[in-house]
Structure 1
């Protein structure tokens, strides 16, 4: 098992999301690892939690990452959040990410959940992706 590729995977996910025109049309450049203090945009993406399992095989060390990208908005209803979530899903599902360390074997959409947060004044959609990486 290796966790060594995790940072490279996160950086590649950030790069793809921050350069994708459809994502930019929905959230601009509002993509965060940690949401900054102070005022935040009405809609933004947060790179979130990650669970990693061993996926080593005869060819070497590898891991499977279950990573979450959240769409958060204060807009009423889920329409804008779902449009942004669709753009994120399109950008990441099946993506061929270039990693600074290791290589991506595959990236697939796994599941999503949508809910009201902050006493129903905001909306959040958590998109979970499954990525298999190998540390070459």
Structure 2
């Protein structure tokens, strides 16, 4: 196992989210891998933390990448954020992520957590997924 496929996986996740018309209609170009400096957009998506574990076999090098995609929104409730989170889930779970190194053999939803952020109105939903990759 190696961490060599991680950057390729992140690029594929970004490309998939940035290529989804329903997501872009809501967040525009505001998909990041770090919280933007300065004034944050009203709504944005953050490709966040990742934990990787070896899942190699005798015949292939592989890994499980547990990664988080977060929705941040200045809203009074969670309804809009949850709708965007649902689109993100559908987008990632129903597609083939094309890597420039290796391949994804599966993507699964693991869990979600909703929470209130900075007062008065910031909302956050963390979606955790697992991708199994092989370095071929």
TM over 0.5: yes
Two-structure CA RMSD over aligned residues (Å)? 1.1
Equivalences for residues 84-95 of structure 1 within 5 A: 84-95=84-95
How many angstroms apart in 2 are the aligned matches of 1:4 and 1:94?
A: 24
Q: Secondary structure at the match of 2:69?
A: strand
How many angstroms apart in 1 are the aligned matches of 2:105 and 2:48?
A: 21
- State the Cα distance separating 1:116 from its structure 2 match: 0.5
Q: Which residue does the alignment assign to 2:133?
A: 133
Ranges in structure 1 where 5+ consecutive residues have no aligned partner: none
How many angstroms apart in 2 are the aligned matches of 1:49 and 1:31?
A: 14
Aligned length: 136
How many angstroms apart in 1 are the aligned matches of 2:114 and 2:33?
A: 20
Q: Which residue does the alignment assign to 1:79?
A: 79
How many angstroms apart in 2 are the aligned matches of 1:135 and 1:41?
A: 36
Instruction: Please list every run of at least 4 consecutive aligned residues from structure 1 whose deviation after the TM superposition is greater than 2 angstroms.
Output: none
Equivalences for residues 105-120 of structure 1 within 5 A: 105-120=105-120
Q: Which residue does the alignment assign to 2:64?
A: 64
